[in-house]
């Protein structure tokens, strides 16, 4: 088993907040400075489509915390209607966040545009973004199967709506909010199950708690957004992989600095702590409306197997589920998941991807439409096993962590895919391995 120790100060900036900071900067009147912007492929795709739609975007490096260089992005915009018709298709590469959230902005612009992506993104469902934008008066066309390309006939005359999210989705919530900022009146988004709330915090939107645990988000239309600076904390979804590494390793202790601890983003810590994991939060503070702190994790070889089925919990750990499932399988030989149909619509069908790879590694699994179960480990492979990454960064990193911590001979079919969200993933793991 691997032994890992050390301090992590170079975790990738949060992917979700980086996307939103760039998009809100493009909607704001003035100069927006974003410190510690993510270098991940997905966030660079967002900057690329903004430039292609006429927004001035500059990017460079400055010295940040701990004396290391960090990325600084400067966006100059005149406000809500500062975009220009792109000369060609807007390439989102592998970033579903870029495609979905930018569609909300383009729906309000008085020109036609088309969003496309790589082969993986072109297979992902987009019907859920089309419905609310059509209700607001935009013209949205998809492929016959409901996927990209997303063709948009924007209009300055978007109507305010009251929209109840059919499934928990921070991306859909955000695209409706971005479109609603341009609408002639007040829009209300009803969220039965809460999802990550960065958009609401960053825009300062009014929210109303409901007796059933849900919320209403109120978006005023046609209100000037003044440019302001943003600081991007470290990505908790990236931290999850290092937390798993520390838990799986032998006599390991890792501290991860300056992580976003927004309550809608760290449900995975509650899930792991409930199973007996040795995790502590230190140095908590508020920066730019977000709760930030350090995560201390120590080896926990006697963790209980994870069983995740509550819909609210599933929504809170949707990005971390691949790592949580692999961690539970390697620690205990067991895992169970239900109510997670959303996993089948990510960069890959993550339910099938995890099961296929665990079975290659000798685990006995059962797969369901909304989840899967790891029953036990029947055998350990005697030779090298190739894990299929399915063009999915989270699948690649989950099994890479398991390989390093267990010492088993596992190869990834495509290790470069980790650059989508965590470009220095292997570098950090190497630095922690004692």
Contact 420, 94 (CB under 8 A): yes
What is the number of other CB atoms lying within 10 angstroms of the CB of residue 242? 27
Angle 15-27/96-106 helices, nearest 10 degrees? 20
Contact 398, 369 (CB under 8 A): no
235 is catalytic: no
**Total count of residues recorded for the chain:** 434
Name the β-bridge partners of 278.
298
Q: How far from chain centre, in Å, is Cα 2?
A: 28
Distance CA 367, CA 419 (A): 29
In the 8-state DSSP scheme, what is residue 11?
A: P
The catalytically annotated residue of 319, 349, 352, 430 is 319
Tokens found for residue 24:
């809100």
In the 8-state DSSP scheme, what is residue 13?
A: B
Q: How far from chain centre, in Å, is Cα 415?
A: 19
CA dihedral 10, 32, 292, 198 (to 10 degrees): -120
Tokens found for residue 422:
């965590």
What is the number of other CB atoms lying within 10 angstroms of the CB of residue 279? 18
Q: Which residue has the tokens 């005359």?
A: 157
Distance CA 189, CA 351 (A): 29
Write out the catalytic residue numbers: 319
């Amino acid at each position: 088993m691997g032994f890992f120790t050390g301090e992590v100060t170079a975790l990738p900036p949060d992917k979700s907040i980086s996307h939103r900071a760039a998009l809100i900067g493009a909607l704001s009147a003035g100069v927006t400075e974003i410190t510690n912007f993510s270098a991940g492929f997905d966030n660079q795709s967002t900057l690329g489509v903004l430039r292609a739609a006429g927004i001035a975007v500059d990017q460079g490096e400055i010295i940040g915390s701990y004396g290391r260089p960090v990325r600084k992005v400067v966006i100059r915009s005149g406000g809500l209607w500062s975009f220009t018709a792109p000369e060609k298709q807007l390439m989102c590469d592998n970033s579903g966040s870029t495609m979905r959230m930018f569609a909300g902005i383009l729906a309000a612009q008085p020109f036609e545009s088309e969003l496309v992506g790589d082969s993986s993104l072109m297979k992902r469902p987009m019907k859920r973004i089309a419905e609310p934008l059509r209700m607001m008066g935009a013209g949205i066309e998809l492929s016959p199967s409901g996927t990209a390309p997303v063709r948009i006939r924007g209009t300055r005359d978007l109507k305010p709506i009251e929209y109840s999210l059919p499934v928990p989705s921070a991306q859909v919530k955000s695209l409706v909010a971005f479109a609603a900022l341009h609408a002639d009146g007040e829009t209300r988004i009803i969220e039965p199950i809460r999802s990550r709330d960065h958009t609401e915090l960053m825009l300062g939107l009014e929210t109303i708690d409901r007796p059933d645990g849900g919320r209403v988000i109120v978006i005023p239309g046609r209100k000037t957004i003044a440019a302001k600076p943003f600081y991007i904390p470290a990505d908790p979804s990236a931290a999850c992989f290092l937390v798993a590494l520390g838990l799986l390793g032998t006599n390991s202790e890792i501290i991860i600095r300056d992580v976003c601890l927004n309550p809608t983003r760290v449900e995975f810590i509650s899930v792991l702590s409930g199973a007996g994991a040795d995790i502590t939060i230190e140095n908590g503070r508020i920066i730019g409306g977000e709760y930030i702190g350090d995560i201390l994790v120590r080896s926990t070889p006697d963790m209980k197997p994870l069983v995740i089925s509550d819909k609210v919990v599933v929504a809170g750990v949707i990005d971390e589920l691949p790592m949580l499932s692999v961690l539970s399988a390697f620690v205990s030989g067991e895992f169970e998941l239900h109510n997670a149909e959303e996993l089948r619509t990510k960069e890959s069908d993550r339910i099938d991807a995890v099961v296929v790879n665990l079975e290659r590694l000798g685990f006995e699994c059962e797969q369901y439409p909304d989840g899967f179960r790891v029953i036990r480990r029947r055998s350990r492979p005697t030779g090298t096993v190739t894990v299929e990454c399915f063009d999915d960064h989270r699948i690649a990193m989950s099994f890479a962590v398991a390989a390093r911590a267990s010492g088993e001979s596992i190869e990834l079919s495509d290790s470069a895919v980790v650059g989508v969200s965590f470009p220095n993933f292997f570098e950090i793991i190497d630095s922690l391995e004692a």
